[in-house]
Amino acid sequence: MIEQVMLNHWSTIFIAIHLSSYDGAAFEVRVLTNQMVAVHGSPAVLGCAFSPPPSLQDVVITWQRTEDKRVVHSYYYGTDQLERQSPAYKGRTALYHGELERGNASLRLARPGRGDTGGYLCSVSTSQGTDKAEMRLGYAAVFSEPRLSILAHDSSFTIRYESQGYPEPEVQWKGCSEQNLTHSSEVLEAKEDPDLLTLKTQVEVENVCNLSWTLVVVNRPLGQVMERTASFIYDDQRTQVDCRGPFALSAMCVAGTLALCTCGLIVLWRRRTKMSSVPQ
C-alpha cells in the first residue's frame, strides 16, 4: 500500500513535468530532488525523470554511485541487465517498468543502510539523446522508545537512558527549572544491527524529593524531537517501587544503600515525540 501511494505520487509529478517542460523540449534527464534521506526499515525511491521515449527498445538506464562508478542498476534491450551490478545492491533494486514509457527512471532501493549514503548518478539514453543527473542519498533511523533505569547511591541517584537510532543525536538533560544539567553520553555500534547506533546517556542527581528531569533527543535528518520527563515522588509510607508507565524501567540498589528498595519511589514517565523540521 505504501509503495503504491509512493508510485502514484511520483507518477503525478512526472506527468506535470512532461506537460510543462518536456513538450517540444530537447532531451533531458532530471532528478526530482538533489538530496533525500532514506529511512531505516522503509524502501527509498530515488526519483529520476527523462523525456518520454518513442520506444522502450531504445532506452538505456544506468544508476551508478558517483564516488566509485559502481553499478547500482542497469536496464537496456527492454529488460533489466544486472550482470555487472555491484554485489552490495543485488536483490535490493528495481525500476518501475510500467512507468518507463512515461519517462520514469526512478529507482526503488530496498533495505537502505549506512553503506548506501553518498552520490547517485541517473544516466538515460534513447534515440532522442543522452543525459544524466546526480543526487545524494542520506540515511537515518528513528530513535526507539527509551529504556530508563535508576541506580541508587548513598546520597544521589543516577538516571540512565538507552535507545537505538541513527545518526548520533543531540542530547540534552534539563532540570525542573529548565536549566541544563551536566551529563555524560556515549554512542556505540549496535551489536544486533550494523545500521543502528546505541545511545547511552545518564545524569546524576543529588536527591529525588518531588523533582523531575527531562531528557531531549534530537535527530536532525528526520526532524525527530523526543522528550522524556521522569518525575520522582518520594513516599516514605510505601514499601516497594512503583514501575507503572509506557516504558521499560529497571531499578537497582548499590551496596550500602537501601533507600530505593525500602522507602519506595513513584516514577512518572511522560513522553512526547514529534517529527518535524528541526532548525539548522
The CATH code of the domain that includes 232 is 2.60.40.10
Cell (9 digits) for 262: 525500602
| Domain edge (last residue) among 139, 164, 191 | 139
If asked whether residues 67 and 135 sit together in one domain, one would say: yes
If asked whether residues 132 and 152 sit together in one domain, one would say: no
Contact 28, 22 (CB under 8 A): yes
Task: Give dist(CA 132, CA 126) in Å, integer.
Answer: 12
Split into its structural domains, the chain has a count of: 2
Domain that holds residue 158: 147-275
Contact 71, 92 (CB under 8 A): no
For residue 280, being part of any structural domain is answered with no
The pLDDT, as a whole number, for residue 68 is 95
Question: The pTM is what?
Answer: 0.77
Q: Can the peptide bond before residue 167 be classed as cis, meaning omega within 30 degrees of 0? A: yes
If asked whether residues 184 and 265 sit together in one domain, one would say: yes
| Domain edge (last residue) among 139, 161, 194 | 139
Q: Tens of pLDDT along the chain (280 residues)?
A: 334 334 445 444 544 444 345 554 689 999 999 999 999 999 999 999 999 988 888 999 999 999 999 999 999 999 999 999 999 999 999 999 999 999 999 999 999 999 999 999 999 999 999 999 999 999 999 999 989 888 877 777 888 999 999 999 999 999 877 888 889 999 999 998 999 999 999 998 876 555 778 899 999 999 999 999 877 766 555 433 443 333 334 443 333 333 333 334 445 556 677 766 454 4
If asked whether residues 16 and 129 sit together in one domain, one would say: yes
Sheet arrangement for strand 35-39: 35-39, 129-140, 118-126, 60-65, 71-76, 79-80
If asked whether residues 192 and 233 sit together in one domain, one would say: yes
| Domain edge (last residue) among 102, 118, 139 | 139
The pLDDT, as a whole number, for residue 257 is 34
Contact 89, 44 (CB under 8 A): no
The answer to whether the Cα torsion of 90, 192, 200, 165 is positive or negative is positive
For residue 181, being part of any structural domain is answered with yes
If asked whether residues 163 and 126 sit together in one domain, one would say: no
For residue 171, being part of any structural domain is answered with yes
Q: Is 192 helix (H, G, I), strand (E, B) or coil?
A: coil
Nearest Cα to Cα of residue 170 among 212, 144, 201: 201
Task: Give dist(CA 84, CA 97) in Å, integer.
Answer: 20
Q: What value does the CA radius of gyration of the chain take, rounded to a whole number of Å?
A: 26
